[in-house]
Amino acid sequence: MKRTTVYINLLNFRSSELAGAGVFAKKLLQRWLEREHNSAHAVDFIILHYAKVSLHDTFGILHQWYKRAIPRNISGLVTRIAYEQIILPFHLKNVDLYFSPTPVLPLLARVFSRAKLVITIHDMIPFFLPKKYPFLRRTYVKWMSVSGAKLAHRVITVSNHSRSDICRIANISPAKVAVVYNFFLHTHPQINGHQPERCFLCIATVEPGKNVENTLLGFAQFLRNYNPSYKLYWAGGFGWGGYSRSEVERLVLQFGLKEQVFFLGYVSESEKIDLLKRCEATVYLSLYEGFGLPLLESMTFDKPVLTSNLSSLPEVVGLAGVLCNPNDPADISAGMAELVRNIEKYRRQIPAQLEKFTEEAQMKRFFDTINDVLNRPAEN
């Protein structure tokens, strides 16, 4: 039986503190590699990764699941781009499939390799929120997303909204883009009988796209106009764009929320689970998302959500939460009040919404996409 060689590029993940795309990649790769290891399929996985990030500890990938790991200690965006665009294409010469859980595509692989090329574009954020990333990173991600979408044999994305944006901006056919939703696992602890506290939880990196100021202003109005006893916990690392811990603490003091709002920084998985058990509901008022994984995490723990009425977020939350205008603190405040008043109404909608995001359904979509790519003649 001819063996299939699959090359996976994880070089973009430079920290063990995974968020969004990293969490999606971890779940996807665990299921994919374990499945091939336990089946009769003849697949050899080669994994390129940042040397300081452990495949086992960070991604939960066991060494027996892959043929070879290629650790590279490449520092700096420019150096990584040069490696991926100049050196990596020649490593793919005898590879059957190249897969990246990010938009990174070694463009010259179209010339120097027979590999089928599959990339993942979670969103087109740099085209909508230019201030989210520094100039160089923004420019590269925009160029890579469009070029990658055009030259890849298949693109995977995480929502129908992102699919629409990708096709429009990159001017490609919708048939080229497969939607594989983020999915929930069945391993979360049961929370029946756990009495929630009067608090909201936001799980998000503290950066420009997460709408920090309006979230705080809306919560301040909610405390004044509806219920002064609530607290807001924000779990997520401090990012870029001026959102250091000291700057965020300054905002909390400025808005008079020192006793009600707590920025916790990056938390462990066990700490996050404890927070999800304790909160009454979650808040996620991002200005643009390709999916919005914290919404799914919240619903998995039977917690309704207040979220933005734009991008993919209404698609993910369905009827299991309240939508509001993320740019209007008054609407945010009213949304919090609505969620608190009618929380059981929204909680009852969670099981039906979660059925759209089961592991079985999404992994089938992924495997169908990969098999379809492998079985088709290469496009010129």
Structural domain that includes position 329: 199-356
354-365, pLDDT tens digit by residue?
Answer: 999 999 999 999
- Quick one: 350 and 364 in the same domain? no
pLDDT confidence band for 131 (50 / 70 / 90): confident
Alpha carbon distance 16, 54 (integer Å): 8
Q: Quick: pLDDT tens for 54-96.
A: 999 999 999 999 999 999 999 788 999 999 999 999 999 999 9
Residue 188 lies in a domain: no
Domain assignment present for residue 191? The answer is no
Is residue 227 in a domain? yes
| pLDDT above 90 coverage of the chain, percent | 83
Residues 351 and 214 occupy one common structural domain: yes
Q: Which of 108-122, 130-144, 319-333 has the lowest mean pLDDT?
A: 130-144
Query: In which band, very low, low, confident or very high, does the pLDDT at 191 lie, cut at 50, 70 and 90?
Result: low
By CB atoms closer than 10 A (0-12, 13-18, 19+), residue 258 is exposed
253 and 264 fall within a common domain: yes
Same domain, 91 and 81: yes
What is the number of structural domains in the chain?
A: 2
Instruction: Tell me the percentage of the chain whose pLDDT exceeds 70.
Output: 96
Same-domain status, 173 and 262: no
State the pLDDT at residue 193: 53
Both 179 and 65 in a single domain?
Answer: yes
**230 SS3 class:** coil
How much is the pTM? 0.86
Report yes or no on 61 lying in a domain.
yes
* pLDDT value of residue 17: 86
What are 359's two structure tokens? Answer: 């592991």
Same domain, 134 and 203: no
Could you tell me if 87 and 130 lie in one domain? yes
Closest CA to 317 of 285, 363, 271: 285
Task: Tell me if 190 is assigned to some domain.
Answer: no
Distance CA 109, CA 106 (A): 6
Q: For residue 143, give the CATH number of its domain.
A: 3.40.50.2000
CA contacts within 13 A on the Cβ side of 222? 31
